[in-house]
Amino acid sequence: MNSDEFKSKWENDEVEVKVLFSAAGVSTTILLTSKFTGKMMLLDVGDGVLRDLLVSSKLDFVHDIDPIAVSHGHFDHVGGLYSLFGFLRMMGRTNPLNILIPAGCSEVISIIKGYRDLYSKTLPYKIWYHELSQDSGFDTDFFKINSFEVEHFSLEFDQGAGVLEPALGFRVQIGETIVGYTGDTRLCPSVESIVRDADLAIIEATQKETSSPDSGHRVHLSINEAEHLGKLAKEFVLIHRIPEL
Ligand SMILES: [Zn+2]
């Protein structure tokens, strides 16, 4: 596995977007940095997030990351949270960290509550989580975030009684720039709203085959669907590809 295949970078005058890593079933982490302020936010926090931040950014991320927006609770999107929390604690972060999650995302809620309990006496910063749903908003001074509910089933092979995960896509405004991120989703009405007219659309493109009308509880977008959606945005990048093993 050549790890460069799973990284990419985009920028304009206002924002730098780094896909630190994204491969389906392994890890996805995207770093947005406001060029005027140096402030950062993460879209998803897959395994290796800490290593990738240390390699690709200044140590200022310890204090400058806020918020973290999590698309859903699957391990390849949240696996790096524990390491990141631990590193921020070790380095003495004091400003609160806000984590945006889909309403009912029990994986992330459990990780946060467990961590807060474990280190209740020695955690120098607060970890807050915010449960978002369709058209929820969350603004910091630097990032304005809107969330969209998307349709992501738990498992591809669980066709008959598929269980929908709490799952979100996001549109993030940094200055005048809009970045849309689909998260993991099948084709559903929200994805067009997420990517339309965005300066950059970050779109999952997991499935190789083209969709068919009776494809049932499909878990992911196909490459064709993702490229079609990408044309609604000014520019796009496809992520979350299946690695050749
Ligand atoms: Zn995934």
pLDDT the model gives residue 217: 62
- What band does 160 get if pLDDT is binned at 50, 70 and 90? very low
- What band does 4 get if pLDDT is binned at 50, 70 and 90? confident
245 part of a folded domain:
no
Length of the chain: 245
Percent of the chain with pLDDT over 70: 92
116 part of a folded domain:
yes
pLDDT the model gives residue 175: 96
244 part of a folded domain:
no
Whole-structure pTM value: 0.94
Task: Give the distance (Å) from ligand 1 centre to CA of residue 36.
Answer: 31
DSSP string, 108-177: HHHHHHHHHHHTTTT--S-EEEEEE-TT-EEE-SS-EEEEEE---BS-TT--TT--BPP-EEEEEEETTE
If DSSP codes are grouped into helix, strand and coil, which group holds residue 14?
coil
Task: Give the distance (Å) from ligand 1 centre to CA of residue 120.
Answer: 31
Instruction: CATH number of the domain at 62, please.
Output: 3.60.15.10
101 part of a folded domain:
yes
Task: Give the distance (Å) from ligand 1 centre to CA of residue 240.
Answer: 7
Q: Domain range spanning residue 200?
A: 3-239
Task: Give the distance (Å) from ligand 1 centre to CA of residue 31.
Answer: 16
Task: Give the distance (Å) from ligand 1 centre to CA of residue 142.
Answer: 27
As for how many domains the chain has, the answer is 1
Residues 168 and 188: beta-carbon distance below 8 Å: no
Instruction: Give the span between the Cα atoms of 201 and 237, in whole angstroms.
Output: 6
Task: Give the distance (Å) from ligand 1 centre to CA of residue 244.
Answer: 16
User: Sign (positive/negative) of CA torsion 84, 85, 86, 89?
Assistant: positive
Task: Give the distance (Å) from ligand 1 centre to CA of residue 148.
Answer: 17
Average pLDDT in the 33-40 region?
A: 96
Average pLDDT, the chain: 93
Task: Give the distance (Å) from ligand 1 centre to CA of residue 222.
Answer: 13
